Amino acid sequence: MTAGGAAARDAPPGKASTEARGLPEGHLREVRRIAALVEYDGTDFAGWQSQAHAVSVQDAVEAAVGFVAGHPVIVICAGRTDSGVHAAGQVIHFDTSAVRTPRAWVLGSNTKLPPSIAVQWAGEVPIGFHARHAAVRRIYRYYILNRSARSALQRTRAAWIHRPLDAAAMHEAAQALIGEHDFSAFRSVQCQSKTTIRRVDAVDVIREGDYLWLQITANAYLHHMVRNIVGTLLDVQRESNPRAAMAKVLTGADRRYAGATAPAAGLYLWRVDYPAVYGIPAPKPQIGLNYGHVLV
């Protein structure tokens, strides 16, 4: 995508031109803003964002929604997931002059989407709503299959770590991340964020049988931040004082001292929260992913 294309696809709230909204120039019909909840298996996609020479989730969603709208649309998401990363609760918005029921947006879009992508909810929102800018927190989950034998069925849905892991030690270490910090140690070299300051509200690591899962809640994330945190937790859980070891990596603010980037297959954009006035629902429980605990 060109720099100009990127700007057009992420216009400030309420300021999108007709071109940025995907509507023809000179379009005079009333413009409505639609929000939608989308889940997807990211295995076969080069991430959310549209790319010139790869298949993206954004391209598939825009084509499907545009079919229902009867005109091209540009879709803005709450969080741009990477190649191989999944979503249970990605939130999007787009502008349209079409008048459709929520059911029509959902069912119509799903007829044009591949089996690995599905719209779960859609509804009209105020024109000032913005899927990214209006979000107050984003929740990611990371799943690890922790046993000696790999899984054929979960190979694209969870990271496989064969060595024993101490979930309690990982949980304790993760508490060092809570609060507002410089997360430079956990950003990728490709990260283009202008600031490395982020606020983490909660982190939990829980074991359910052979599975460990981490849930992290933050206002925003750096590129590869969650996967780099997981990779570091896999290292520091073996230390005599895991929390102190994690704190040392955090305050060092140097990517070289953090762990390796954990595989994409285990990561899910789980939920994005907004002010209640917008009426964006939480995603429904996922069979095989909630286990015995539901964290909010």
What are the residue numbers of the active site? Answer: 82
Q: Which amino acid is at 89?
A: G
Q: Give the DSSP H/E element, type plus range, for residue 174.
A: helix 167-174
> How many C-beta atoms lie closer than 10 Å to residue 184's C-beta?
16
